[in-house]
Amino acid sequence: MQNEFKDSDDLTIREVKIGDTSLSVVSLDGMVNKEIVAESILNPILVAKDSLIEIKSAPKKYEYVKSTVLTTTEQYEIENFEKALNLLMSGFSLLFFDGVSKVIAIGIQGFSFRAVAEPATEVTQKGSRESFVENVKVNVTLVRRRLKNTNLKFENLILGSESNTAVTLCYLNNIVSAKLLNEVKTKLKSINLKYILAAEYLIPYLNGNKKLSLFNEVGISERPDTVCGKISEGRIAILVDGVPTALIVPYLFIEYFHTFDDYAQNPLFSTLARWLKYLSFLITILLPGMYVALGTFNPEAFPSKLVNKIATSIGETPFPILFETLVIHFIYEIMREAGLRLPKPLGHAVSIIGGLVIGDAAVNSGLIGTPTLMIVALTAIASYIIPNLYEPCAVLRLIFILVGGIFGLLGVMIVFTIVMLDICSKDAYSTVFSAPVTPFSLSSMKDVFVRASWKELSKNYMKIQEISNENKS
């Protein structure tokens, strides 16, 4: 151990002499609770010192300490040096006996971690206010509290040859497909990364065989209740130690438009909100491109009462409408990145400067037209309605602007068709990514374009349970 942690001052070794046998308690400073080390390991051993001295054999002393002296509940007997190293760096203390080839690993983690707080991105009105934290053990507890079911299984893996990151699979054993589970395990075990510092490191390995696509077949959530809902449908959740989010596989395209509030509110209102999300997706990717295409090639397609105003605005600005829209788009992205990276008080200042000073000055100076500014602002607001799709929407918006300005409406429609083909051709673990829209499933429409009541949705859950029972039998 001293050779492995050479030149590292956080290795702590406490040696104790019991008769003619030496034992050592090894831990990493800051990773364990020192009070528990003293109360649960060192003090009981010193109290039982007289009894241990009477035992002459070192292996017998080891067995006596393991079964009688130690008062901790989480104990492992380790015979592999690599596994002992991994547990030591995970917050365990190791108890070595001179003359014994086994080690007792004792779980007394004491490192600090962020407390459970409200979700930062998946904000809800009626759901839980808890979100995942960086400690995978706490995240496992948050899931277990909501699914008090003996069929809920947690399976641990160690990924990253250098980081040795703990990864936990969560699934319901009586519902999950054995084929899906084996496929996910195989993909995870094939990961050859040295370091895994974020859950997103795993996504390229869990995605399908397509090398280039804007949409992922792996969902991300920071909400335990959302993850539990997906697990109850036969999905697999992947928790990564040090990351406050969970990965969900498989994940369908329509689920990007679903939120936890959809299932906690009135079905009619949830249906309206869902249609707003679909409309916002189309607005955020298509509206700027179509505006540029119409303004460049087909201005007569604008409503008659708007033609003069839009034409006047375009004529008064010195730049082509394509360049003008791109400039506003890039200014918005610059302000967004600045607002994200700066401290919160400064972030608000950046948004005020961008919205009032830059926008107003650009319009008044005649560099940018008012209709163009309004179009880009509308698409920017619409993109935040579906935050999990912001990244692909930002790229698609830029592509549609360029295509619309160069090829017109025909180019926009061709690219939109390619995007739809990409979505429909993806395979999310033997399930079509665009399901249940294509291939169409009438029974599944209860939770796609509308949100049926729980009386209706519960029938689907009963069907899932029947299918799982048939598979099990």
pLDDT in tens, 405-419: 999 999 999 999 999
Q: Is the domain of 390 the same as that of 274?
A: yes
Q: Is the domain of 242 the same as that of 280?
A: no
Q: Is the domain of 331 the same as that of 206?
A: no
- The verdict on residue 336 lying in a domain is yes
Average pLDDT over residues 393-411: 95
Q: pLDDT tier at 436 (50, 70, 90 boundaries)?
A: confident
Residue bearing the bigger pLDDT, 302 or 154: 154
Q: Is the domain of 286 the same as that of 180?
A: no
At residue 187, the pLDDT reads: 93
At residue 334, the pLDDT reads: 83
Q: Is the domain of 140 the same as that of 238?
A: yes
Q: Is the pLDDT of residue 26 over 90?
A: yes
- The verdict on residue 121 lying in a domain is no
Angstrom distance (rounded) from CA 236 to CA 220: 12
At residue 472, the pLDDT reads: 52
What does residue 147 show for φ and ψ, rounded to 5 degrees? -120, 85
Q: Is the pLDDT of residue 337 over 90?
A: no
Q: Is the domain of 222 the same as that of 371?
A: no
At residue 141, the pLDDT reads: 93
At residue 351, the pLDDT reads: 64
267-270: which pairs have CB atoms within 8 A and are 24 or more residues apart? 267/450, 267/451, 267/452, 267/453, 270/451
CA trace torsion 218, 222, 224, 225 (10° rounding): -80
Q: Which pairing describes strands 103-107 and 11-18: parallel, antiparallel, or unpaired?
A: unpaired
Q: Is the pLDDT of residue 90 over 70?
A: yes
Question: Using an 8 Å Cβ cutoff, are 10 and 29 in contact?
Answer: yes
- The verdict on residue 235 lying in a domain is yes
- Tell me the per-residue pLDDT of 168-183, one tens digit each, with 9 for 90 and over: 999 999 889 899 999 9
- The verdict on residue 117 lying in a domain is no
CA trace torsion 111, 117, 122, 126 (10° rounding): 150
Q: pLDDT tier at 304 (50, 70, 90 boundaries)?
A: confident
The greatest distance separating any two alpha carbons of the chain, rounded to the nearest whole angstrom, comes to 102
Average pLDDT over residues 219-238: 93
* pTM recorded for the entire structure: 0.86
- The verdict on residue 262 lying in a domain is no
At residue 346, the pLDDT reads: 63
Range of the domain at 372: 267-425
Angstrom distance (rounded) from CA 172 to CA 252: 19
At residue 438, the pLDDT reads: 84
Q: Is the domain of 243 the same as that of 276?
A: no
Q: Is the pLDDT of residue 465 over 70?
A: no
At residue 460, the pLDDT reads: 65
Q: pLDDT tier at 421 (50, 70, 90 boundaries)?
A: very high
Asked whether the CA dihedral 235, 138, 205, 184 is positive or negative, the reply is negative
Q: pLDDT tier at 467 (50, 70, 90 boundaries)?
A: low
SS3 label, residue 132: coil
Give how many domains the chain has, as a whole number.
4
What's the one-letter identity of residue 285? I
Q: pLDDT tier at 464 (50, 70, 90 boundaries)?
A: low
Q: Is the domain of 369 the same as that of 271?
A: yes
Q: Give the Å distances, CA to CA, from 368 to 252, 285, 358, 364, 407.
A: 39, 21, 11, 8, 22
Average pLDDT over residues 257-279: 91
At residue 426, the pLDDT reads: 87
Span of 11-15, 121-125, 396-400, 457-461 with lowest mean pLDDT: 457-461
- The verdict on residue 140 lying in a domain is yes
Residue bearing the bigger pLDDT, 470 or 187: 187
Q: Which of 219, 251, 283 represents a domain boundary (last residue)?
A: 251
Q: Is the domain of 290 the same as that of 408?
A: yes
- The verdict on residue 388 lying in a domain is yes
Average pLDDT over residues 350-365: 68
At residue 310, the pLDDT reads: 80
- The verdict on residue 170 lying in a domain is yes
The percentage of residues in the chain with a pLDDT greater than 70, rounded to a whole number, is: 93
Q: Is the domain of 241 the same as that of 335?
A: no
At residue 112, the pLDDT reads: 73
Mean residue pLDDT across the chain: 87
Which tokens hold the place of 104? Answer: 């007792």
Q: Is the domain of 77 the same as that of 189?
A: no
Angstrom distance (rounded) from CA 46 to CA 27: 18
Span of 60-64, 296-300, 428-432 with lowest mean pLDDT: 428-432
Which residues, in sequence order, are bridge partners of residue 220? 247
Q: Is the domain of 414 the same as that of 467?
A: no
